Amino acid sequence: MDFFEAQARAKQRTSRLVLLFSLALLGVIAASYASAIVGLSYTTRGQPWWDLQVLAVVTSGTLILVGLASLFKWLQLRDGGRAVAEMVGGRRVDPHTTELKERQLLNVVEEMAIASGIPMPSVYVLPGEEGINAFAAGLTTSDAVVAVTDGTLQKLTRDELQGVIAHEFSHILNGDMRLNLHITALVFGILVIGLVGRGILYSLRYTRVRSGNNKNSGGAVIAVLGAGVALLVIGYAGYFFGRLIQAAVSRQREFLADASAVQFTRNPGGITGALKKIGGYALGSSLQSSKSAQIGHFFFAQGFRSHFGGLWATHPPLPERIRAIDPSFDGQYFNPPEMVDVARESWSQATDDVSAPLAGFALAPKSAPSRNAHAIITSVGTLTPANVANAQTLLDAAPAVLREATRTPATASALICGLLLDAAPEPRAHQQALIAQHGGALLAADVATLDPSLRTLRPEARLPLVLLSLPALHDLPAADLSRLLDTLDELVHADGRVTTFEFALQKVLSHHLALGKAPHAPGDEIYSFQALERELALVLSALARSAADDEAGAAQAFAAGANQLRLLEGRLALLSSAECSFERLDAALDRLAQGSLPIKQRLLTAGAHVITADGAVRVSEVELLRAFASALDCPMPALAA
């Protein structure tokens, strides 16, 4: 299943989820109406069983209460992945940590981010949680986080950790994160009815009904008590069915994520080893924090005991998950040490396999890279062993000082500025003066420190380093970020022209930084190719002119791409260089970002045919196409050299 199919299925699941919760809500309204009628029949003689006015009051009251509660929970989570991780007590991993297992975790996530072409997620650890578990959360790939428990860090080998992280990246790429947040908000909306009922009963715990002439007061207390009981029963009944829906939706996705993890790493033993350790350790994947219960469907494995048998289980049973990957599984889990004194001995000391040296992915020999249009477009939003291996190669080849620079706001800012420096001495000196003038002396000094390493950097490693820098840049105060973006703009226009890489860097940064600060769903989608005809022609024209050195070559490349847009056959024409200015291209991409998934897929397919039309693919062409894909929220990994 490719990226576009996965995203389409995620949208279908969201629509199905809303329908199921709507049916559950109708059941809650019906039960509330019946309770109201029963209550009124005791106080009003001749109360009919069908009362439109009562139905209207009950329906509006229920919808308002559930809607406000769901909105409240959604607003709590609207800041994206970081809000979720911090809500459950997550601690962000220090990018410069010297703790071996945390460094290992960061390296694994970096490899996966580069291999998939998405911005580097922020990485969190759930302290004090000794069970083996993990989750990914966020509204978009720009604000995603990956979180693991202490137990995951300490008890898993690197291969097993890779399997777990690959599983979580599958959820990121398959569009599951936003769906998880929708589920959390909707379930809370229904639960709040029961919480209101419980609150009413709790408020009456010290109330005494006095005898004598105060009959009205006693009747009122009984009425309130009855209302509280009714709300409690109805709310928790609705919550019961809401949790059933939540569990059913979650279980469907886990087998796919497990299979994707195996496909990504080409190492079945990684994820099955993690699952066997969950089955072998006494704590398994259990979580201690009650705050984690409301996001149980986010996790890698079942975090809480499932009541009502397996009805509320958010994950399939461990044996089923393991046998889906390894049919020969004999039911034997990992055999842990008999006793570990965690006050004096760490899990890494207690288990021999965890202290193994940092090994790479267990991959088959890498085949020769393919750069045809089909191979390029099928790489969008997917993790493949070849891309994982290429990510490792890029990271290993990048100077260590540049990798470290991606991890803090100040040095990440310097890295981005340094990537824009011209190779020629004179314009480079002018740009360095601009950095000192607009960014300050400290920024200029950091750029100077990185400059020798930047001169040796391979061109194809530039955009991956930009994506790795995004979590650090998100931490910049608004004023500092604004100053950095102004400095970058000065650097780009210092020589009076804009290169394809300069445009690609600015577009990737502006798009993901904006989404990271205020993650949101796209606006109204555009489903008509004709409505975007001008924008499609502009994007393909700009790409064709970057891929060719003369007019004939540009026309040939443009035609190769236009032939992929059958619905616009004969209507697209190559635009002039003046019409393909980067300012117009920027606006065109913003509008195309509102296009439907089929439009984005066909556009990127056409773009892949443009850059491969002459049989040679240059780094500058790939960078521009990757910038286009990034602006459309379709992550495209770096191509293997």
pLDDT for 11 equals: 64
pLDDT digits (tens, 9 = 90+) for 193-245: 776 766 666 666 555 555 555 555 555 556 666 666 776 677 667 667 766 77
Question: CA neighbours within 13 Å on the CB side: how many for 172?
Answer: 37
For 428-497, give the DSSP string: HHHHHHHHHHHH-HHHHHHHHHHHHHHHT--GGGHHHHHHHHHHHHHTS-HHHHHHHHHHHHHHHTTTS-
pLDDT digits (tens, 9 = 90+) for 319-336: 888 988 888 888 888 877
CA gap 105, 402 in Å, rounded: 19
480-519 per-position pLDDT tens digit? 988 999 999 999 988 888 888 888 898 888 888 886 666 6
pLDDT digits (tens, 9 = 90+) for 525-575: 788 899 999 999 999 999 998 888 889 999 999 999 999 998 898 899 999
- Domain membership flag for residue 638: no
Q: What's the pLDDT score for residue 250?
A: 67
Co-location of 557 and 474 in the same domain: no
Out of 205, 239, 257, a domain closes at 257
Instruction: Convert the pLDDT of each residue in 454-464 to its tens digit.
Output: 999 988 888 88
Together in a domain, 402 and 547: no
Are 415 and 539 in the same domain? no
> Mind spelling out the 3-state secondary structure of 86-134?
HHCCCEECCCCCCCHHHHHHHHHHHHHHHHHCCCCCEEEEECCCCCCCE
What whole-number percentage of the chain has pLDDT above 70?
79
Reduce the DSSP state of residue 567 to 3 states and report it.
helix
Is residue 140 in some structural domain? no
Average pLDDT in the 20-49 region? Answer: 78
- For CA atoms 597, 598, 600, 605, the dihedral sign is positive
Residue 137 lies in a domain: no
Residue 481 lies in a domain: yes
Q: How confident is the model at residue 306 (pLDDT cuts 50, 70, 90)?
A: low
Instruction: Kindly tell me if the per-residue pLDDT of 469 is higher than 90.
Output: yes
CB atoms within 10 A of CB 7: 19
Of the residues 225, 242, 257, which one is the last residue of a structural domain? 257
Mean residue pLDDT of the chain comes to 80
Same domain, yes or no, for 480 and 534? no
Q: What is the pLDDT of residue 170?
A: 86
* Whole-prediction pTM: 0.74
pLDDT band for position 340 (cuts 50, 70, 90)? very low
Contacts of 333 (CB under 8 A, 6+ apart): 276, 277, 278, 279, 280, 318
Predicted local distance difference test score (pLDDT) of residue 309:
52
Q: Give yes or no: residues 541 and 616 share one domain.
A: yes
Contacts of 525 (CB under 8 A, 6+ apart): 594, 595, 596
Q: Are residues 487 and 557 in the same domain?
A: no
At 384 the pLDDT is: 74
Average pLDDT over residues 113-135: 90
Q: What confidence score (pLDDT) does residue 6 get?
A: 60
Q: How far apart are CA 166 and CA 180, in angstroms?
A: 18
| Tally of CB atoms within 10 A around 282 | 8
Question: To which residue do tokens 């056409």 refer?
Answer: 606
Whether residue 498 is found in the same domain as residue 549 = no
Tell me whether residue 514 is in a domain.
no
Identify the pLDDT of residue 133. 93
Distance of alpha carbon 49 from alpha carbon 53, whole angstroms: 12
What tens digit of pLDDT does each residue of 578-597 get? 898 888 999 999 899 888 88
- Amino acid 104: pLDDT: 93
- Domain, as residue range, for 426: 398-504
Same-domain status, 456 and 595: no
Provide mean pLDDT across the span 346-371. 38
In this prediction, residue 450 carries a pLDDT of 95
> Based on the domain organization, do 484 and 561 belong to the same domain?
no
Query: Which range is most confident: 52-61, 245-254, 376-385?
Result: 52-61
**Which one has a higher pLDDT value, 147 or 373?**
147
Examine residue 594 and state whether it is found in any structural domain, yes or no. yes
Per-residue model confidence (pLDDT) at position 371: 59
User: 338 lies in a domain?
Assistant: no
Active site residues: 168
Considering the domain architecture, whether residues 456 and 498 belong to the same structural domain is answered as yes
Closest by CA to 337, choosing from 346, 324, 327, is: 346
Residues 605, 564, single domain; the answer is yes
User: What is the pLDDT at residue 356?
Assistant: 35
Q: With 90 as the cut, is the pLDDT of residue 164 above it?
A: yes
Predicted confidence at residue 430, as pLDDT, reads: 92
Last residue of a domain, one of 225, 257, 289: 257
Q: Which residues contact 58 (CB under 8 A, 6 or more apart)?
A: 29, 32, 33, 36
Q: Are residues 216 and 67 in the same domain?
A: yes
Does residue 1 fall inside a structural domain? Answer: no
Residue 351's pLDDT is: 41
Counted domains in the chain: 3
**Mean pLDDT, residues 172-185:** 79
pLDDT category at 29 given cuts 50, 70, 90 is confident
pLDDT digits (tens, 9 = 90+) for 420-454: 999 888 888 999 999 999 989 999 999 999 999 99
